[in-house]
Structures are given as C-alpha cells and as structure tokens.
Amino acid sequence: MSNPAPTFLNTVYYPSWRVYKGFPPSTLQLNCIDQVFYAFARLNVDGTLKYLDEYADLTKPVDGETGCLRALAKLKHQKPSLKTLISIGGGSGSAEFPAVAADPALRATFANSCRQFVDEFALDGVDIDWEHPETPEAGSNFILLLRALRSALPSPRYLLTTALPVGEYCLKNIDIGAAGQLLDTLNLMGYDFNGPWTDVCGHHAQLLRQPGDERAIHPGLRHSCHRGASFLLAHGFPARKLVLGVPAYARSFTGARGVGQPFSGAAELDYNELPPEWIRDAVVDENVAAASYVDSAPGGKGFVSFDVPRTVGMKAEYVKQMGLGGLFYWTGVGDVNGPDSLVRAGYEGLDRR
C-alpha cells in the first residue's frame, strides 16, 4: 500500500487593526486556509497578557459578534477543521520578552496566562513572535520559554508555534534542534530583506539570492528564503515543521529603477492596494523567484517589490521539493480575491485543490 501524499499547511495571520479598514475575520478566504494566527496580544512586565486593542479585540461589533476574537471563534462553526492561535509580541510588542523569558517565575506566569487566554477564546494554541532573540542569552531563554509553554499547553491538544526571521543574527543564538522538538511549526519570515533600512533597493522576499559571486553582491541582496531554510535544516530543524512566509504587501523604493540601486524614499503597500495593472504587468525574475514593477510616472513609487501568484507558485513548488510544512501569509486580509489571490495561488500550488 502506498503512503498518502503529505498535506501541506496554508495559513494566514489576521491583524486585528485591519478591522478598521473593513476587513473583519469573515473576509478571510476560509476555503483555502488551515490556520489563522490572530495578531497580536502583548506581554506585561509581570508575565501576564494584555490586549493590543481592547475595543477591537472584545467590544467592537464584528461579524455579528462582540470583538474580533469572538468573530474568529465563529469561523470554526463554518469550518470545524480550522485551527486558530493567538500570536504574542510582534515587531513593536517584543520589548518585554527578554526579561520575562529570563525569569523562571515570570515564564510560569506567562505560560499559565497563555493557557487561560487560549481556553477563554476557544483557540487552539499560541504563536510566539519575539522579534528577535539577538544574543546567546536571549536564545537560551527563548528555549526555556518554549519549554514552559509546552508544559502549560501539552501536545497534541494545543499547538505551539513561533515566527522567526531568516537572518543568522537571530537563528545562530537558538538551539534549533531543541526548538524543533518543542514546536509544532516554525513560521519562517521570508520577507523584509530590503527596505528603508538598507542602502540599496532589492526584492524584499526573494526565494533565492541574486546570482553570482556572493562576495560581489551587496549585503542587502544576499538574504533569501532558501538561506534561512537551509540554516534551520542544517541545524536539525524538522523540514515538515518549517512553514515558509509570503508577504501580502509590497515595498517600494522611490527613485530606483532596478535591483541594487540607491533610492530616496521607501514605503509599504498592502497587496490589495496595488493597482491591478502592476500585478498584471509585473516582471518575474526566474533566477530568484521574485516579482517587481517600476512605477516611473512623475512622483511615482519607483522600484516596487512584491509577490504575485506566479512567484507564490514557485515558492509552493519549493516547499514540496524540500519537504517543508507549507506556506503562511502576512497578512490574510492584505490579499485580494479572484485570480490574483496569493493565498489561493499557494493553496493550489500546494496541491490542495
């Protein structure tokens, strides 16, 4: 008897603040996602949790419920197989992690608070988005924090996941093998390789690095999804637990016309804010699996880097070839419906049709 083909995950983050732009949880493409990560809850200095936006989370009328958290729970009535997790931290909400993770009593408080939160809102688990453990001490405490969480959230009843960048500045500090034993999945943030913080423009979510001698390539252009995935796999992280990230947003570089050029300004746009013709006319670089459009109109955005269905399909193929766990999207509500949908392209590329 042949073994059944593996089922790959197709998952999304839902940022609660998007409800103010008319994107409640019900606007997610439920028929092609398996998990939703609700972003975000935050930490208090004593290890307890706090709401990012109590009105949006608990009070605002959303999808016939009070608050986005209950609206999220409502989705499980429509799709009982859907898994929902609370994501804790985020880029501007991680300052408390180092101290909490370093203290055994605070770790225990945090883990118990997470369990209470998950049970109260009928969630399936917790996603740790600590951005980022950047020292060996922080990396060691990150593992201790995961151990405390795993104790409070036993498998298989509860899911425990994390989001980490592709950069070795973070990954080198973590016992990757230990993380692989504790986690159900690791969401590898395969984006933000270039932006307003870099000297030159480039693709911000390329699957492979720019071709050529690495020493001759600008440092900002050396990052890639493959580099991060390869580091994790080489250090013992289970391939089937590694989920590759896709950005449902673009980065623009004013004044630039191509990869490696200087720029005078930078911006971020949701994928659903891009003019449809940019998506339709985007140039796909087959060497790195990335798409771009040059807005050369007066006062235009310049070089714009983003994913399109074709590049997401290439990433899905990479996931299958490497035996990874699937794809995730930041964010599920930054996407569009119809033939240009990134989430649907990934779902179909992972043979989930």
The CATH number that domain 9-247+307-349 falls under is 3.20.20.80
Strand positions, DSSP E, the chain: 9-15, 35-43, 49-51, 61-62, 65-66, 83-89, 125-129, 159-165, 185-189, 242-247, 249-254, 265-270, 283-285, 290-295, 302-306, 326-330
How far apart are alpha carbons 230 and 114 in whole angstroms? 31
Name the 3-class secondary structure at 218: coil
Express each pLDDT in 12-64 by its tens digit.
999 999 999 999 999 999 999 999 999 999 999 999 999 999 999 999 999 99
Would the pLDDT of 80 be above 60?
A: yes
How far apart are alpha carbons 195 and 125 in whole angstroms? 32
pLDDT of the residue at 200: 93
| Mean pLDDT lowest among 3-17, 114-128, 220-234, 300-314 | 3-17
* Cβ proximity of 242 and 185 under 8 Å: yes
How far apart are alpha carbons 266 and 304 in whole angstroms? 9
Would the pLDDT of 253 be above 80?
A: yes
Would the pLDDT of 299 be above 70?
A: yes
Q: How far lies 140's CA from each of 103, 133, 134, 188, 253, in Å?
A: 12, 9, 11, 19, 37
Percent over 90 (pLDDT), the chain: 93
pLDDT of the residue at 316: 98
Report residue 222's pLDDT band, with 50, 70 and 90 as the boundaries: confident
Helices and strands: H and E segment counts in the chain: 11, 16
Computed over every residue of the chain, the mean pLDDT equals 95
What are the contacts of 69-75 at 24+ separation with CB within 8 A?
A: 69/38, 69/121, 70/121, 71/24, 71/25, 71/26, 72/14, 72/25, 72/36, 72/38, 72/121, 73/121, 73/122, 73/123, 74/25, 74/26, 75/25, 75/26, 75/28, 75/30, 75/36
Sign of the torsion formed by the C-alpha atoms of 44, 50, 52 and 53: negative
> What is the mean pLDDT of the segment spanning 110-136?
98
Would the pLDDT of 322 be above 70?
A: yes
Whole-model pTM: value is: 0.96
- Smallest CA-to-CA distance from 51 within 90, 84, 20 is with 90
pLDDT of the residue at 301: 97
pLDDT of the residue at 352: 82
How far apart are alpha carbons 100 and 97 in whole angstroms? 5
Domain layout of the chain by residue ranges: 9-247+307-349
φ and ψ of 257, to 5 deg: -125, -5
How far apart are alpha carbons 322 and 37 in whole angstroms? 24
pLDDT of the residue at 4: 62
What letter does residue 239 receive in the DSSP assignment?
Answer: G
